[in-house]
Structure formats: structure tokens, C-alpha cells
Structure 1
């Protein structure tokens, strides 16, 4: 792996005002964690003995929780401060480099990313060190780009384009994980993507980059055929329900995830179970831990329930669209998305190889959670769009008698927009979309 060295006459990352402000805000949040943790410990030690003497069980339990949780908050704040010092050293010594990127879903561990250095073509495999609420910052932007500053061997800083939302990242340690991440990045076409515009490139050059892209139907068919999806293409997912004849939509995994009903129900059931446990077993013994757990679960149930208030109507709208009687045919090209999803790019049904895309839609893979690629349709063909293009628009594409459930709505393409061009360039990659 080559070392990322500052280029001559290129300003270091800290010279960017957004980066300096982002680092200051990160340091401020670290001190907030430390202050909150120390305050919790002091309050717990001050209130706990008095609550025990007065026989106030719930207040005593809260004091124990503060004394136990306070050091955890202090540890999080201390680790964040250490990362701030590391980031400051790196940002003062290296420039920002815009890299094509692939995010690896975190699962049970920290999120990981794979970057491709624009100059050398080396792959940089990194594991992000941050708390769960900031995991989303490790996802590449819609153009599949992250900014990188540092040395791949000793660690560095990741950020969204613009230099904000700073994350400390280190080299992914185990060889097995690195091999798996490289394979995932190759499957998502990281090696075929064009190099993104660098932060130091003048705006005029950026416009010139976008005009050199060939985004015709023929240019998109080539990378779609070149990239294969894992799994038995064309094989039907086991027990796949047909939404046209099966009324209960909650049996469809993708729709159940969109509705947010499952996490709402699980948290509500756990809250009720803890409340019953406290009422039947712990109330007389003045043990209030189940009551605290019930309150936390009820809070989560309310949080997911607010999402379900919007998610359930959205699912019902998708079901109505999927059952619409009159489909609208469109040619499509199916490409790997910039994360773990898919992107359908639509073209006029009757046209030639020089047609430009008229719309795009991000969709979920058709398989199960363990085998998401099962039931993959052909990568090029005709899709029947069912729904209403002028209502939302709410559209569900059907291919070979099976729906691909959308993650986002049907969006028309504006190739005069720089963000749209960069997004499609990241999707297509390869020689046909190289910046010339």
C-alpha cells in the first residue's frame, strides 16, 4: 500500500473552514460526554444514600444507574478526545483526497469502508471508530464518494464531501475481513468507477468532467453485463408471496421493513412483559429495574411508532400501486447501487442504443435477508411500471412477474444537473463513462 503524501502546492485539510469547524464541534461533543458522565456520577452518589434511607426504591435504582452509566459516558468522551487529537495532527499534515467509496454494512461491529485512491488505484480498507448514532456518516454520498485524509497504515480521517462530519478510521485488521471487504467492493463495481473530482479542482473543470460522460442506453448495458450479481440469478425466492392475490402485505419482508411495525411491536411487547414482571414479582420486593426497562422499551416503541405512522400509509400506497391494472412498459438496466441495494435505470420502451435515461429508482434486492440476491431478474430487459407517475410518484416495477420494491420514489433524470451526472458516473464506471 502506497503512503498518501501531501501534494505540492495543495492546502492541507485543516485549511478548509468547514473542516476546522467540524473538528471544533467534535471536540465540544467530547467534553459534553465527559461532563454528562461526571455529573451523573456526582448526582448518583449524592442521591443514592438518601434514597436508600427514605426507602424510595425507584430513586435508588436511578442513582445506581447513574453511578454505573456515568463512567461509560466519561470513557466515550475520553476516547472521542483522543480521536480529536489524532485527527488534528492528520488534518494539519495531509490534504483532502476525494475517493470512490463503498460502505460495508456494520452488522454487529463498527462500519467499514473501502476506498479507491484516485491517483494510484490502490484500495484503502478502513474500519471507522465512532459511536452508533454517527454510523451513517460512514456511508458514501449519492455519488459514491468519501473524502480521505491520512495514511492507510496508521489511520486517518473520513468525511462526507465538503469536509464535514469527521470520522477517525484505522486500517481493517484481520486478513479475512479485508478479503471479504475487497470482494464486496469489487461486486459493487468500485474498480470500474471513474475518479471523482478532487476538492482542489476548479469549478470549471468539474463541469467539463460531467460533459465527457457517455450515459446512453448502450453505454449502460455494457457495465451491467460486465458486473455479475452473486447467487442463482433467475431463481425464485422460496415462498415468495404474490402481493396481487395475497391480502396481508406484512408477509412481504421489504414492506414490513418499510412499515416499521415489527420494531414497534417488539419494543411494545417487551415493555408490557417488563411491566407485568414488575407488578407480579418485583413490586413487593421494591425492585424497580423491570420498571425502568419497561419505560425505556416504551420510549423506543413510541419512537418507532412515530415512524410507523408514516410507514404504514407508504406501504399501503405501494401495495395499491403494485396492483394497478394498467402497466407502463419501460426498458431498464439494472446496476448495483452504491450501498447494498440496486438501481433500475429506465429508458423509453421503443428506442435505440443512443437513448438517454429518463428516470431511475433505487430498489431492494428481491431475496431474503440471508440470501438477498436470490431471484435476481435479468440485468437488461423490459419492466412493467405499475402505479401512478403523477401521484408522488408512486410506482412499483414488475419484472418477469415479480416486483422489486422501491427504496425511494421514481425520479426523473436531469443530465444537466451536476449531481445527477456524478451519480450515474459512479453507477456506470468503466471505460464508457470514464472522464476524458
Structure 2
């Protein structure tokens, strides 16, 4: 459970979720965040339907076959394998953004430039891969320690904001600035911070009593961390709305909050601890993503060499490298070949990440309902309503990018995701058919 919580960098969510929500949903942001918590709690409950019954090493990839059969594993793999690569890319760039900002604050003027950013990317990636390779125990210890180190600063800033006298509960609960469009935009933003929350399911075979502990590790994110983000939203949004002009100038939300709450001395150090928090998440996602790759390789979708596990550390070194290398190359190319800043690049990658998880979450909600209806027909109405609400929320994450497109290149990302998904799906189908053909020929 420690790695599950650490992977969702509560300090970073506390620094970013209220700020992004405030920009779109204003003082009604709490309602959009609450809806996101409810929706992803439902999704989490449907995932735990599988986690209580089955033990797997591929997270949703391992679960989905129990509802839909073998075809669904191809679909899930075609979305989740590139999805984990994109997730790790986002975390690598996130470390660069916050550590670079900290370096700028202490006098390193060109810390946001390609040279230093690339150095940060390489070091962060190699260290995280090494920790993941050294085994799950070291990964858990490292991630939990880094999370414990990083969280207090944002907690102090948020608590100081709560006592600053600008929470304005009456103004927030009046919903005077509520509109359906701003609510739906806020729902998409709030939901984005739960993407990949089920990653701990990939460690089922390496967890004690997995049918009990994995469901707990999954549901603690939308419930525990979700309520944590909701409280932060209620506390921070009034100050952030009032300081919209400062945010527009590029001042970070944590700096705005710290200054307004009288703890401005924490502004600079907050960037450093947020970089540390994201690095903790990076370790977790290397562990999760590599296990999904191993599961897919075990089923013949990927080269069999990716199944190999180090005897000493019991970690899939080849699978870690398989997702680590492209995860490092991608941000490096974007940094050198485009005029976008690291912050802009991170926004693009994070948006693309959301789209990759739409198909897996949509299928798992429907699949969870199918399993429950097989065994508990008397509750089928409640189950089906829950599945409809959860899957509709997930589908909205994708449709929002088409209905409310951002400026280029954000407006192209829904189609980039579909194109990548199709390419991976075709490649996986070709791979498994080729191996089946070779097996048939070998038996003759």
C-alpha cells in the first residue's frame, strides 16, 4: 500500500489539482473534484471485483480476460503498454520541471534549458530504473521515504492557507459561478489525477495475501487520496481564484499560496520537494509498467526475452529497460526538436496519458459488472447503474478532448492516441499469430 500511495505523489496533487480546477471551474471546483472522487471510487470498486478473485502480474491486462476472453487482453495491452511509457515520460519531465525551477530559484539561470533538463532526465531515469531493478522491497522503501520527506511542505502551506481567513465556504457552496461546461471540464481535470491508480494490481504475485491487500491498495487512492485532494481544493481555490493575475504571469501555485498564507520562505523549497515526490512516483511506475510488459510477453504478445527475471533481485530487468529507454528518448527528442518549454511538454504528455487509459477503464467497468451480474443477479440494477456512471465518466475524458479541443498540438492528441493504439494492436496481433504459426509448424 505504501508504494501505491507514493506513486500518486500526494504532495504534487495537492500543489496542482486545486490550481488547474480553479482555472476552469472557479469557486465551484469542489463539486467537480467531488464528482471525480465518486466516479473513480466506482471504477476502483469494479477493479477490486477482479482483484478479490484473481491474482495477476499484469494489472487490468491480467484481469480483463476473465470477463471478455482472450481478445480483450490484446485491446488492453495495445493501450496500456504505450500508456505506461507515456506515464513514465510525464514523470521524467515532471522531475525536470520542478527541479529545474528550484535550480533557477537558487541562481542557475539556464536550468530550464535543454542541456540541464536533459541531464536531469537521464539521471532521474537511470536512478529510478536501478532502484526498480534492485527489487520491490527497495522500491517500496525508497518511494515511501521520499513521499514522507516531500509531503510536509505542501501540508504546511495548505494548513496555513486554511487559517489565513480566505477559505470562503459560503462563496464556494453557493455555486454562483457554476456552469455545466465548467463542471464537465473540471471533472475531466480532476479525473486525470487518478489515471493509473490501479497500478499496484501488477504486483499481485509479489504481495502477501494479494486478494485482500491489493484491493485495499487500489481503493485507498480514489477514497483516501481523493478526499485529500478534495479538502485541498476547498482550502486553496478561493486564494488561487483571487490570485489569477499572478498565476497568469507564471508564478507557481505553491508560491502564490505560500506568500498569501505568510509562509513565503517555503516557496523555493517546495519546488525541490515536489521534484522528489515525482521521483518517488517514477520508481513505482517502473515497477508497475514492467510487470504489465512481463505478463504480455508471457502470453506471446511481446518477445519472450522480456519475461526474464533477475534471480537475485527477482525483478524483470529486460522489461524495465523495454519501457525505460523509449520513456527517456521521447522527452529528449521533444526537448531538442520543438520550441516548447519543459512545462508545455509536460502538459502535452500528461494529456496524452489520460487518453491511453480510457479504453482499459471503460472495459474494466463493464467487465466488473458482468462478473457481478453472473454471481449476484439480485443486485444487477445497482451494479449496472454504477458501471454506466463510471464508464460514462471515463468516456468523457476522451470526448472532452474532441468537444473542447485545446490549442495545437493538444487538439491532435486524441487522434495520436487512437493512431498509436491501432499500431500497437496490429503489431500485437501479428506477433501472436506469427508465434502460433511457428508452434503449429513445429508440431508437424
TM category (shorter chain) comes to: under 0.3
| Higher normalized helix content (fraction of residues) | 2
- Length-normalised TM-score, structure 2: 0.21
Choose between structure 1 and 2: higher strand proportion: 1
User: Greater Rg, structure 1 or structure 2?
Assistant: 1
TM-score, normalised relative to structure 1? 0.21
Q: Which has the higher contact order (CA 8 A, sep 6+)?
A: 2
